[in-house]
Every structure is written in C-alpha cells, then in structure tokens.
Structure 1
Amino acid sequence: MHQVMEQNVRIVSRVQWRAAPPKQRERQKSLARRVVIHHTATPSCRGLEKCKEQIFSIQRDHMTERGFSDIGYNFLVEGGGIVFEGRGWGVVGAHTKGNNLDSLGIAFIGNFNNDAPSKEAILSVKQLLQSGVSQGFLCKEFSLLGHRDLGDTECPGENLYSALPNLRGTT
C-alpha cells in the first residue's frame, strides 16, 4: 500500500479507494483560480479503511442519483487529515453548479453544521493547497470560498464555514 506524498500530504489514490472509472474527464483549460470548500453532509469517518467505503458510496450517489460523470469533488479529506483523490488535479469538477471550470472542489467528510473540522484536516488541506500552487495546478492568488458563497446552500456547514479563515494565507 503506497500513498503519494506531496509536501507532507498523504493522498490516497483513486485506485486505492477502488473508485469506479469516470464516464468522462474534462481537463481544466487553465490554472484553478478558486477553491470551493464543501462538506459531504454524511457521517464523519477516520482512517483509510473506514473512509474508503464511504467515499465509494458518495461516488456512486453522484454518478447514479445526480447523473455526474464521476465523484463531484477534486479531493476529499477525513477527520485524521488523510486526503482522498476525487477527480484530482487539473480536472473540471461537478461540485458547484456554474462555477466548476476555474475552481477546485475540496470536501471535508462529515456534517459541519454540528461538528467542528479537526486540526489535522485543516492542516492537510492547507498543505494540499500549497502543493497545488507549487505544482502549477492552482493560482498563487487563489480565492477561497465556501459553497454557500456561490449557491443557496448551508454547505459547508456553519462550523467549517467559520473555520475558512484558518485555510487562508496558505502560500
């Protein structure tokens, strides 16, 4: 079992969580200029094995119930800070209607209307964003938004939304 290490970020690949192949993939035409933070509004999970099945279930829901070509998010992070590859870098997501072409969607696994994001998850996402900038997938001066900033939703939950300032200034 190997994970890709990017600036101390442990990223579990699609192969490792046994992702279904996407029906199609659209590459982003330029660097992402925005990062949109979401929550999955599902139970939280910790650990590789416990979260793999949950992420596969999210992908199945996105593809069968919502009609997406793949899981909607570019990355997902669990409570211990493990990052799971969704669509990955440089791929157009399906996370924020009308705002996907120039953005990266990152979902915290759990429901943050009640729960607070862990320090480990916040740190991992900060490191992931730094990695995205250094690898040339994310503009250095990217905007960081909550899903609710772009749509009529409570997402990413009150407690995660109030933690967004902890993710800013990552580069």
Structure 2
Amino acid sequence: MRHTGRRRSRTAVSVTVLALLAAASLWLVPAAAPQPGTDVAQARAPGGNGRHRGARPVIVPRTAWRAGTIGTAPPGVRYAPAVKAAVIHHTSTPNGYDCASVPATLRDLYAGHAYGRHWDDIGYNFLVDACGTIYEGRAGGVDRPVIGAHTKGFNEGTVGIAAIGTFDSGERVPEPMLDAIARLVAWKLDPRGPDPRASVALVSTHDEARYPKGTKALLPVVGGHADGYATRCPGAALYAKLPDISARAARMQRG
C-alpha cells in the first residue's frame, strides 16, 4: 500500500507540473499577425491592438527659414481631432535646386499663399526638399493635428505634405525625398488609425472638391492632391510613387 501511495504521489506531481508548463506557454505565444486578406485597417482601428506610430523625424522649424519675415501674423490655429490621412503635393517650383536655397523658396511660397491667394498662412503643413530635409510649414505645432489649406474639401483630419519641385511624368523623384516623406507620414498618422496602405472614409467640406459637401468619400490613407480635388498635383511621377511611400511608412510604423 505504501508503494502504491508513492506512485500516486509522483503521478499527481507530474500532472501538476505539466499543467503549470501549459499555462506558462500561453504567455510565451505571441499574438497572431494579421493573415493575408485580413482587414489591416480594422485591426488598427481605435480600441485595437496598441499604437503603431513611427519615430519622429528631424523637422526644421519655421523660425529657421524665417517665416516671420513675410510680414503676416499667423491666425488662430484650428485643430482636427486626429490625422487620418496624408495628402501629398508638389510645389510646381523648378527642380535641380541647391538645397541651401530652400528657405528662400519657402518664403516665396508663403508670400504667394498669403498675398497672392489671400490665405492666412502657407497652406502646407510640411514641405520636403530633394535632400530629404523636412520643413515645418503651417503654424500651430508640428506634433499637433493642424488643419491646413492644401486640399479643398479635405483639409480637416489630413496632413498636407508638399514635395519641393515639379514631378510631372518623366521626372525623377529623389530617393532622400521619398524616404523623408515616408518617415513623416509614419509619424504623423493617428497611432490608432488605419494602415498607411489602406483607405479611410473622409467627409467632404466643400462643393468644389471631387465630392460634394457632405459626401463621405473613401480615399487612400496616403493619397495625392488629385484624389480629393480636380488637379494634376502631385504630378504623375510622384503620384506613381505613393504606393511605395505607403509601404515604407507601414514598415516604419511596425518598427
């Protein structure tokens, strides 16, 4: 009887150890990644599995390109609840520039927007040059969802990023510029928003947009000016690079 009792004791201990190991293994198994065909945008929606923001890139402030010399005081800034999408533009200025001359180009653009178009500030939230330098555009704080004046009908909830130059069909888009735009997109998009490669529903606020005021439009999370407004901006060459920018931004957000 004592021999039988010892056998039962060892068996009970073995079962207990196995149960503990099985429970511990549950903590070691990583969460399953979305499988092909999974709605990645849904997986990253508010209330989903955590944040997916990219690292903050270096951004040259307005003071460094002397925005204050234009002579207009920035107005009261308006903010959106979050940045849901990025709208890519080009500035339609000459290519082949020396990057040291970019601050002067920014001041010219600002003056054109403020005096030529009677806007209250430069329209773009950010501008990126051929060397990959990112500049703060519209005032209000680079880390906040500032409502710009870059895409009529879809300014609210988007970030306007302008590539300095003209990128019509046949033009080359510099690699440092593409990389910088992707890094900026990865950082600025809502950390709990949709995947950069996905689409997002935005409501038009102006009848002159591609979609009448009040229309809910499904637009790319990383799209071109032409997606929301009747224009050739950001040029055929840059527009063709948007899927590449989206993919890069998605990789950067995954760390």
Same fold (TM over 0.5): yes
Partner-residue secondary structure (3-state), 1:117: coil
Give the counterpart of 2:178 among 122, 128, 132: 122
Question: Which residue pairs with 1:152 in the alignment?
Answer: 230
- Give the paired residue count: 163
Partner-residue secondary structure (3-state), 2:156: coil
**Residues 76-134 of structure 1, C-alpha deviation per residue, up to 9 Å, x if partnerless?**
0000100010023421100001110111000000000142211111111111122224x
Conserved 8 A contact 2:159-2:188: no
Structure with the largest fraction of helix: 2
Change beyond 3 A, Cα 1:17–1:137? farther
Normalised TM-score (structure 1): 0.86
Which runs of structure 1 show a deviation greater than 3 angstroms over 4 or more consecutive aligned residues? Answer: 136-142
Question: Which residue pairs with 2:120 in the alignment?
Answer: 69
CA offset at residue 157 of structure 1?
Answer: 0.4
Conserved 8 A contact 1:46-1:78: no
**Gap runs ≥5 in structure 1:** 1-5
Q: For the residues of structure 2 that align with 1:35 and 1:126, how far apart are their CA atoms?
A: 10
Change beyond 3 A, Cα 1:29–1:129? same
Q: Which moved more, 1:103-112 or 1:113-122?
A: 113-122
| Cα-Cα RMSD | 2.0
Change beyond 3 A, Cα 1:127–1:46? farther
Question: Which residue pairs with 1:110 in the alignment?
Answer: 165
Conserved 8 A contact 1:27-1:91: yes
Say whether 1:15 aligns with 2:70.
Answer: no
CA offset at residue 26 of structure 1?
Answer: 2.5
**Gap runs ≥5 in structure 2:** 1-53, 197-220
Q: For the residues of structure 1 that align with 2:232 and 2:114, how far apart are their CA atoms?
A: 22
Conserved 8 A contact 1:25-1:92: no
Q: Which moved more, 1:25-34 or 1:97-106?
A: 25-34
Partner-residue secondary structure (3-state), 2:127: strand
> What pairs with 1:133-152 in structure 2 (closer than 5 Å)?
133=189, 139-141=193-195, 143-152=221-230
Question: Which residue pairs with 2:83 in the alignment?
Answer: 32
Q: Which moved more, 1:112-121 or 1:21-30?
A: 21-30
Change beyond 3 A, Cα 1:91–1:83? same
Normalised TM-score (structure 2): 0.59
Structure with the largest fraction of strand: 1
